[in-house]
Structure 1
């Protein structure tokens, strides 16, 4: 699947797969955010180069955490803790509350709202002045644009390429706050995006692909034995397609000039064929 094709398939259904089941009081708001943000994602992901699986995975994981599982576009706290924060551009009395976190990625501070306005007016000349009207950052479509303002100006695609959750989190939140929760969302995002990719592969090939989490234990065992024979990868032959097997698949794919997505489709099966002990079932 090409990067542009992948980004075009990231929509509300993917967000729903990542999102937790909310309390009843938050359900309607979550559904509205997922619907609105989902509509914007395909075009914005493509426009700002967040088109690979890892870039999409990390972006969605961070947004999911910052938005309380897509349940809010406004920070629950008052913002008083940001009062006087010169690093956020909060130089006037009341700036802490006035410029508290808004948007799915919680854009915070007068300075960021000013820079967001400057940035977006180069794309949409008639957009609002968010320094004057910060509350609009919590409303779509501006809330969606705010995500990509932050993501692109902080060059987070490069960190996502390294699969470096700690580094991405430090830029988004200034430290390791909520790292465990972000890791859980990242795992869910990786699974949802990998499923999209596997489904697309299956539609275009004669063999059903397998990927991390596949429960075809016999075929996974066969895969593991072939990988071990092909490159002496250190694998436990257990029939479970976990992170170790996925890493070995990616290593093998890179060695053969294939797309290193960890999904075992026709081309990967073909490359491993000489190492199988028996014919594919």
Structure 2
């Protein structure tokens, strides 16, 4: 899996000052230790899936500076569709989390899913590490990985937001996320391994990025399957190399000509 830390999130998020910067730093610091393992547990583990998840959560959390909506929650009072049937439920079950959980019924359902009685302790949903888990659980329930695999920000945004609010900012965050992940994927390496069908991991994602930069259509999942092998053969034929579908030194060298300038 790609290495994702709070520094990755900082590279995507806007810069703040004063109290806003302090709150952002607190949230990112407290998320850091759980970030990689939580993403892996929810299969948010390819470059596209991670990029889309980070882009959506960056927007939803106002640049990772809040895990609780700014409004009071009074607008949700009496919303039976959210399970808010008791006086004060609107404010008690206001939006919390990196992707905001709203309403008594949702607090109950997600609490059961993550093994914490959120209906009884709704404020806990704003805890940074738990807010990450809640966002991942929401992501899984809506099968947003499928939209990310297609690089479909419209569908991903609709699944998260129920509309297309903030689409321009989500696009900007996605571009930053992709650039930051690509920077790690294309970091200089003293030696790149020979790759063939059956190989998996970040180095395969690097290969797939390189093929895309060369204009070859290929998935970006870190899995050297038949589709990636076909893409490699296409590239090798175009480059005048031995078209055996195996990526060795000659193929890496030709791909390097198409990599980002900071590689």
Q: Same fold (TM over 0.5)?
A: yes
Q: Return the alpha-carbon distance in structure 2 between the equivalents of residues 18 and 117 of structure 1.
A: 29
- The secondary structure found in structure 1 opposite 2:217 is helix
Query: How many residue pairs get matched?
Result: 229
* Higher RCO, Cα 8 Å, sep 6+: 2
What's the TM-score, normalizing by structure 2? Answer: 0.76
2:216 maps to which of 249, 269, 274: 249
Question: 2:75 matched to which residue of 1?
Answer: 81
- The secondary structure found in structure 2 opposite 1:199 is coil
Question: 1:116 matched to which residue of 2?
Answer: 110
CA contact (8 A) 1:15 1:38 kept: no
Distance 1:204 1:100, change over 3 A: farther
Q: After TM superposition, give the deviation of residue 271 of structure 1 in Å.
A: 5.5
1:133 maps to which of 111, 116, 121: 121
Q: After TM superposition, give the deviation of residue 258 of structure 1 in Å.
A: 2.6
Question: What RMSD, in angstroms, separates the aligned Cα atoms of the two structures?
Answer: 3.3
**1:44-78 deviation per Cα after TM superposition (whole angstroms, max 9, x unaligned):** 11111111111111110111001110101111111
**Which 5+ residue runs of structure 2 have no aligned equivalent?**
194-205, 242-252, 258-263
What's the TM-score, normalizing by structure 1? Answer: 0.71
**Which 5+ residue runs of structure 1 have no aligned equivalent?**
122-126, 213-222, 228-244
Q: Return the alpha-carbon distance in structure 1 between the equivalents of residues 32 and 147 of structure 2.
A: 23
Tell me, yes or no, if structure 1 residue 103 matches structure 2 residue 133: no
CA contact (8 A) 1:256 1:271 kept: no
Question: 1:33 matched to which residue of 2?
Answer: 27
**1:131-162 deviation per Cα after TM superposition (whole angstroms, max 9, x unaligned):** 11111111133222211121112211112112
CA contact (8 A) 2:14 2:63 kept: yes
Q: Return the alpha-carbon distance in structure 2 between the equivalents of residues 75 and 20 of structure 1.
A: 18
